[in-house]
């Protein structure tokens, strides 16, 4: 914005006439189609957050994944349901078997056999108990990850909301400056016709009006693009007209100490909570793997079978004759244990090593995240203090710039100052106002980042509400 009003000074009276014609034409178009325009959607920070959370596709994918984990957690007990199966087998011997039933009497047994069986089994080990706990912990970690994703979206929406308000304020200042420049051009033309100012002053004022038109158009186009992106973020069509409710910053004070903020961040920041939940899940999975590899398993089985064993061909004899069926089956109790898991170089042994390395890496990430959070909080607090001091000084600068502009314009009306002095005073006032607005919104955005870092609801420090 320091170069907001700089441009080539090569336009003349034709530029002014063309710009006025364009304004009149666009005003007529808007008047004709004004009734057909859609009413703007009025938003607050909370309603914007609610819409983004409801319509975000990434969050919808995360919700589906969490539903899968919840279903696994709710039905984790089903591993104790015995597995049951029914089989029917039709087989044929490669060679016919002959059996001597009496001296001089040999019969040939059929080559086809029919066998039906029902079997059930149940495996039990201490690893299954720990596996149930791991499944529930995995679901809890998914809940934390989903909440973290929601908070990150809320953080982005609130900061983008503030960016739009700042750009709207910037556009408003530029429009006011354009109106002032136009008014000064009218004064210059009146003074020239009254013989109080040279023709060069009038031409300079008209060129200044023309030079501001592209700047206003560019800034309005940037605002339109930013609102379009914001609408897409909320799940709306990009051309949805939006009207954002302004935010007012009441105070620049932070009612908390640095040490308290850091201590709350260690337990409250979503990133830290997610890492802690993942570590607990991995530790439970490691314990389940150890129990599976170092403890025996118990398998209970029961089988009922029946073999169709006729003396003739099974396709020629009745299947409903009880004498042709031989019943069998058994109940079994099996106790076993794998010895491969006792050796580190086996596949099972390497699984344990990989699990230990994964937990170690997650602990390192947790320690690193805690340190980064401490530095982030320290940096944000320093930025807030700097912004507070700058904003207070900038507020006084706005008052002085406003006074200087009004005095310069009065002198310009009286012919005691030239147009360049008025334009410079107006530019200084606009820059001072924009700097103050920028400091205020920077302060709000730093508060939003700080609220996320310490894990408190948005609005706790910034005092602008929370979308809960």
Residue with the bigger pLDDT between 163 and 262: it is: 163
Grade residue 363 by pLDDT with cuts at 50, 70 and 90. Answer: very high
What's the rounded mean pLDDT across residues 226-230? 89
Rounded to the nearest 10 degrees, the angle between the axes of helix 258-268 and helix 419-454 is 60
* Helices vs strands, H then E, count in the chain: 9, 8
Worst-scoring range by mean pLDDT, 188-197, 244-253, 351-360?
Answer: 244-253
Residue 103, Cβ neighbours under 10 Å: how many? 6
Segment 374-399, tens digit of pLDDT: 888 888 888 888 888 888 888 888 88
pLDDT of 107 over the 70 cut: no
The mean predicted confidence, pLDDT, of the chain is 78
Note whether 346 and 340 are within 8 A (CB): yes
Q: Which residue has the tokens 């008047």?
A: 31
Residue 468, Cβ neighbours under 10 Å: how many? 10
CA neighbours closer than 13 Å in the CB half-sphere of residue 234: 28
Note whether 427 and 5 are within 8 A (CB): yes
Segment 110-131, tens digit of pLDDT: 667 778 889 998 888 888 888 8
Segment 437-446, tens digit of pLDDT: 888 888 888 8
CA angle 289, 293, 296 (to 5 degrees): 125
What's the rounded mean pLDDT across residues 392-417? 82
Task: Specify the pLDDT at position 18.
Answer: 32
246 φ, ψ (degrees, to nearest 5): -65, 155
Q: How far apart are CA 384 and CA 254, in angstroms?
A: 9
Grade residue 108 by pLDDT with cuts at 50, 70 and 90. Answer: low
Residue with the bigger pLDDT between 85 and 105: it is: 85
Q: Which residue has the tokens 């349901």?
A: 81
Task: Specify the pLDDT at position 35.
Answer: 40
Task: Specify the pLDDT at position 256.
Answer: 62
Q: How far apart are CA 209 and CA 213, in angstroms?
A: 7
> DSSP state, 270?
H
SS3 of 318-382? CCCCHHHEEEEEEEEEEEECCCHHHCCCCHHHHHHHHHHHHHHHHHHHHHHHHHHHHHHHHHHHH
Residues 6+ apart with CB under 8 A from 181: 205, 208, 209, 212, 423, 426
Write the DSSP string, 175-210: HHHHHHHHHHHHHHHHHHHTTSS-HHHHHHHHHHHH
Residue with the bigger pLDDT between 119 and 177: it is: 119
Residue with the bigger pLDDT between 202 and 31: it is: 202
Q: Is 0.85 surpassed by the pTM of this model?
A: no
What's the rounded mean pLDDT across residues 51-67? 87
Task: Specify the pLDDT at position 361.
Answer: 93
Residue with the bigger pLDDT between 195 and 373: it is: 373
Segment 418-466, tens digit of pLDDT: 767 777 787 788 788 888 888 888 888 888 888 888 888 887 776 644 3
Task: Specify the pLDDT at position 254.
Answer: 64
What's the rounded mean pLDDT across residues 120-148? 88
Note whether 443 and 388 are within 8 A (CB): yes
């Amino acid at each position: 914005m320091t170069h907001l009003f700089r441009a080539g000074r090569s336009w003349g009276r034709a530029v002014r006439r063309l710009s006025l014609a364009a304004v009149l034409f666009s005003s007529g178009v808007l008047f004709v189609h004004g009734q057909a325009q859609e009413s703007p959607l009025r938003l607050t920070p909370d309603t914007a957050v609610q819409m983004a959370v409801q319509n975000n596709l990434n969050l919808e994918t995360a919700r589906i994944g969490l539903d899968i984990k919840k279903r696994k957690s709710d039905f984790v007990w089903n591993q104790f349901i015995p597995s049951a199966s029914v089989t029917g087998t039709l087989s044929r011997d490669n060679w016919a078997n002959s059996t001597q039933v009496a001296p001089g009497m040999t019969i040939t047994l059929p080559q086809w056999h029919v066998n039906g069986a029902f079997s059930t089994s149940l495996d039990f080990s201490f690893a299954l108990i720990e596996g149930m706990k791991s499944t529930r912990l995995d679901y809890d970690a998914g809940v934390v990850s989903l909440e973290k994703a929601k908070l990150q979206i809320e953080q982005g929406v609130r900061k983008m909301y503030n960016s739009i308000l700042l750009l709207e304020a910037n556009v408003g200042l530029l429009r006011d400056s354009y109106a002032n420049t136009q008014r000064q051009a009218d004064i210059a033309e009146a003074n020239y016709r009254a013989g109080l100012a040279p023709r060069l002053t009038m031409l300079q004022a008209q060129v200044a009006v023309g030079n501001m038109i592209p700047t206003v158009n560019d800034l309005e186009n940037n605002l339109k693009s930013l609102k379009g992106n914001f609408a897409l973020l909320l799940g709306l069509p990009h051309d949805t007209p939006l009207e954002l409710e302004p935010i007012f910053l009441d105070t620049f004070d932070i009612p908390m100490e640095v040490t308290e903020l850091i201590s709350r961040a260690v337990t409250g920041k979503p990133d830290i909570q997610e890492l802690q939940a993942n570590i607990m899940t991995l530790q439970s999975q490691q314990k389940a793997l150890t129990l599976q590899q170092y403890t025996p398993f118990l398998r209970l089985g029961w089988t009922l079978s029946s073999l169709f064993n006729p003396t003739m061909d099974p396709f020629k004899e009745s299947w409903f004759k009880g004498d042709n069926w031989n019943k069998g089956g058994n109940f079994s109790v099996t106790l076993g244990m794998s010895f491969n898991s006792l050796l580190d170089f086996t596949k099972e042994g390497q699984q344990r090593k990989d699990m230990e390395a994964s937990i170690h890496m997650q602990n390192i990430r947790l320690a690193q995240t805690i340190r980064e959070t401490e530095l982030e909080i320290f940096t944000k607090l320093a930025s807030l203090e700097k912004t507070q001091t700058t904003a207070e000084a900038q507020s006084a600068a706005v008052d002085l710039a406003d006074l200087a502009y009004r005095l310069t314009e009065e002198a310009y009306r009286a012919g005691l100052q030239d147009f360049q002095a008025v334009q410079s005073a107006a530019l200084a006032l606009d820059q001072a106002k924009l700097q103050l607005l920028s400091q205020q919104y920077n302060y709000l955005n730093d508060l939003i980042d700080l609220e996320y870092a310490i894990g408190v609801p948005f609005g706790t420090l910034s005092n602008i509400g929370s979308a809960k």
